[in-house]
A and B are shown apart, each in its own frame.
Chain A
C-alpha cells in the first residue's frame, strides 16, 4: 500500500479517487502542508502527524473525509529514537476499505499527546491503556487512570527498558534451555520466591493501594437524597460494587455503580483482573510461538483469533495461502462463530434469570462443534490451528466414528439448524425475554460509531459494517452471505443479530463444504513450515478479522530479519465494546446491568489480555 501512496500525486488523478484511503491522505496533506507527511520508514504506511495538529487532523478525518470510525489506538516504544509513538487506525464506515493510519511521535521523556476522547469517545479506554502500559500522557483525557494494572504499580510495563521479575532474555528461545538445561523454577532465582519485584529500596509503609475504598472515592458518592425522586418515595444515592467475583460478570470483571435508588446514575467498569501480559509476552515470543497464545485471548473463539494474527504476520512475511487452506480456514472460523454465538445467547438468557435451560440445550450443540475441532486440531478449546501460509492439519478421517464430510454435512444441514430453530422458538417470542430486553441498553447509530463499537453491537444499532464485507479477507468475497442489521440498538436486537448470524454462518459453511470436497488432497500450507521465521523486511502490519465479538485487529511491527515482533498489539473487540457500558446502563435498573453486560458478550481474556 505504501508504494501506491507514493505514486499518488496530491493533485488527485482520476484513478486515485477510486481509493478512499489515498484520497483522504492526499486531502489531509493538502490541508495541512508541511505538518502532515507520509511515514518515511520502510514498510510503514499512513501519515506522521505532529502532536499539536492531531485533534485538527482527526476532526478533518471524521467530519470531512468520512473516516468516522476510530478502530484502534495504541502506543509503540521507539526506544532507539528516544520516542514514544501513538498509532491510530481510522476507517470509513460507509466506504469500507482499509485504514488511514496516523502516527504521532513524541519525546520519550515528556510524552504528551492530545487526547482524542473529545473527537471519538471510543478512544477512552484505549488511551488509558496506552498510558498504563507505555506511559503516554493524553492531554485532556477526562479520566486518565491506570486501567489494566493498578494505581501505584511501578513503571510502565510495555516500555522496552522495563523488566519483569522473571525476566530472562529479550527474546525467545532462551539460551538456558538447551544444550545445558538444568530445570529451574523461575521462583528459585527471585529473592522473594515469587513473581514480584519492588523498586530498589522500597519499603512498605502500610498505606498501599486499597482496592476497596479507592474506587468509591473516584465515583464520588456524595450521599444525598435524590433530587428528582417521585413524591411517594425518596431514594438514596448509593455506590454499589459488582465484582470482580460476581456470577453475572462473565469472569473477573468489576463495575462500580452509582445508584439513585434502583436507577443507575453512573457506572464505571474496572478491569485488569485477568491482565495476563499478553502483549509483553508476545513481544518476547517468536512469531510462531504467539499463535497458541492468541488462542487464549478470546477463549470462546480461539481459531478466529489465530486467523487475525496469522493474517497480520502473513502481510509481513508475504506468504501465499493455498486454496484448500483458505477453505478450511473459513470453515473453522465460521464454526467458531456458531459455537461462540451459541454460548453468548445461552448466557444472555442465563443473565435474564432463565437459569441454565437454553444454555444447556445450546451447549450440547457446542460440544459437537468442539468434537470436530478436537478431531481436527487436537484440542477442544486451545486449537493452535493456523500457521503462516496455511493451517496445521488436514481434515481428519473421522469424527466420533463418522466420516468427516458426512459429519459436517449432517452437522450443518440437520443438527445445527434444528437446534437453532429450537432456540428461536424457545426465546425469540418469549414475552419475558422481550419485556426484559426491548428498549434496554440502547445505543444509537451515531453513538455506536463514536464509541468504536464492533461486531453485533454495531450491527444492532443499524450500522451495516462487517469486516468480511468491508475489507474482505480470505475467500469471503466469493461467498454469498448477508450482514444482519437491526436498528433499535437494544439488547433484543443484539440477540437477533446473533441469531441471524448463526444462520448466515451456516449458509457460509454450506457453501464451503463442496469446495473442501473438490480440493481433497491439495496442499494446506505454503512452502515448508519453519519454526524459526524471520521477517524479510521491516515494517508494520495490521491484520483484522470479523471475530464473533467484533473486529479483532493485530498490530504487529518488526525489524528486518527479526524473529519476534517489535510491537505486538491486540485491538480487542470486547475491551473496546465495554467503553459504552456506562453510557448504556445509565437510567436503567440494577438488574438490567447484568443483561446489558451480557449483551455485549465479553470475554475477559480478551478484555484484559
Chain B
C-alpha cells in the first residue's frame, strides 16, 4: 500500500522516542540515569538504549589505556623538595627521527667535558603540527615519551601555549601509572625482563637457549606484542 513505508518509518521514530524515556524509568530510584557512574557505564556500552548522551563536562566518557592525545615526557617521581625527577629521556633522538610531521625538536645535553650527555637540554613539541600518531611513543626505546590522555587543552592563544617545552611536557611516572596502569606495568615488566636477559646473556656468554617469555597478559599491552624486547 502506498504510504506504508512512511508509516513504518514513523513507527520506528516513535519507538525510539518512547524508548528514550523507558531507561529513565528503569533508573528511577537507582540514583537516576544521569550523573550516575553506574548508569553512565551502561549508557556508553553496547547495552546503551534510548538517550545515550554523555553529559560532558559533568560526566566524562572514559578513555581506554591506549588512547593518545599529545605526547608527554616521563620523569622519575620528584623526590622531597624537588620540582622534577630525573628525565627518562636519554635524548637519543629516535622520536625526532620517527615523527612523521617532524614536530619534535631535541637539544642534546652536553657534559662539562663536551661529550654528549644522555639527557635532553631542551625538548620541544609543536602541538600545532603533531598529528597524535603515537609513533614517538611506540619507538622510544626507553619508555620516556608517552601519549597523554588529557584532551582538555583549549586555549585562547597559540603563540605561547602551543609549543610545549620540556617543562610543560615533563610528567612524573606516577601520572602514567595512573592513566594507563596496565600498560605501565607491562612496560616495567618488559624492561626488567630485558635487563635480566642481558645479564643472563652476559653470564652465559651467548650460549643462547630457551629464553622465558614475558607473561602473555603483559605482552599484549605492548605495541607489536612487545616483539622488540
Contacts and interface: CB of A to CB of B under 8 A. Distances in A.
A and B touch in the complex (CB under 8 A): yes
Interface of A: 168, 172-174, 176-185, 285-286, 288-293, 296, 357, 361, 364, 367-368, 371, 374-379, 382, 384, 387, 390, 392-397, 399-402, 407, 410-411, 414-415, 422, 425-434, 521, 523-525, 527-529, 531-532
B107 A179 contact: yes
Interface of B: 2-6, 8-9, 12-13, 16, 41, 44-46, 48, 52, 62-68, 91, 93-94, 96-100, 102, 104-108, 116, 122, 124, 126, 131-135, 138-139, 147, 163, 165, 182, 216-217, 219-221, 223-225, 227-228
Contacts of B8: 425-426, 429-430
Contacts of A182: 105, 107, 122
Nearest to A354: B9
A129 to B, nearest CB: 24
21 contacts: A172-B102, A177-B102, A177-B104, A181-B124, A293-B100, A293-B131, A364-B52, A371-B44, A378-B64, A378-B66, A378-B68, A378-B134, A379-B67, A397-B220, A399-B64, A400-B44, A415-B46, A431-B6, A525-B225, A527-B227, A529-B228
A181 B64 contact: no
A174 B102 contact: yes
B6 A430 contact: yes
Given A173-B96, A177-B106, A529 B224 contact: yes
B68 A379 contact: yes
A392 B91 CA distance: 24
A396 B45 CA distance: 16
A393 B216 CA distance: 13
A180 B116 CA distance: 11
B107 A379 contact: no
Given A368-B46, A531-B97, A531-B98, A523 B227 contact: yes
A179 B92 CA distance: 8
B131 A382 contact: yes
A361 B225 contact: no
Contacts of A290: 100
A394 B225 contact: yes
Contacts of B45: 400-402
Nearest to B94: A531
B107 A521 contact: no
A185 B46 CA distance: 45
B46 A181 contact: no
Contacts of B93: 177-179
B64 A177 contact: no
Nearest to A433: B5
A523 B226 CA distance: 10
B118 to A, nearest CB: 12
Contact of A183 (B68, B124, B216): B124
Contacts of B147: 378
A518 B217 CA distance: 16
A531 B135 contact: yes
A334 B52 CA distance: 25
Contacts of B5: 428-431, 433-434
Contacts of B227: 523, 525, 527-529
A524 B224 contact: yes
A289 B98 contact: yes
B173 to A, nearest CB: 20
A393 to B, nearest CB: 6
B105 to A, nearest CB: 3
A602 B138 CA distance: 33
Contact of A396 (B6, B13, B64, B105): B64
A391 to B, nearest CB: 8
Contact of B9 (A288, A367, A427): A427
Nearest to B163: A183
Nearest to A364: B52
Contacts of A179: 91, 93, 106-108, 116
Which of A172, A293, A393 neighbours the largest number of chain B CB atoms within 10 Å of its CB? A393
B100 A292 contact: yes
B97 A178 contact: yes
B228 A402 contact: no
Which of A178, A387, A396, A401 neighbours the largest number of chain B CB atoms within 10 Å of its CB? A178
Nearest to B97: A173
A345 to B, nearest CB: 14
B189 to A, nearest CB: 15
A319 to B, nearest CB: 13
A392 B96 contact: no
A529 B139 CA distance: 9
Which of B63, B91, B220, B228 neighbours the largest number of chain A CB atoms within 10 Å of its CB? B220
Nearest to B109: A179
A181 B99 CA distance: 14
Contacts of B3: 431
Contacts of B62: 400
Contacts of A411: 46
B126 A185 contact: yes
Contacts of B6: 430-432
A285 to B, nearest CB: 6
A429 B5 CA distance: 5
A168 to B, nearest CB: 8
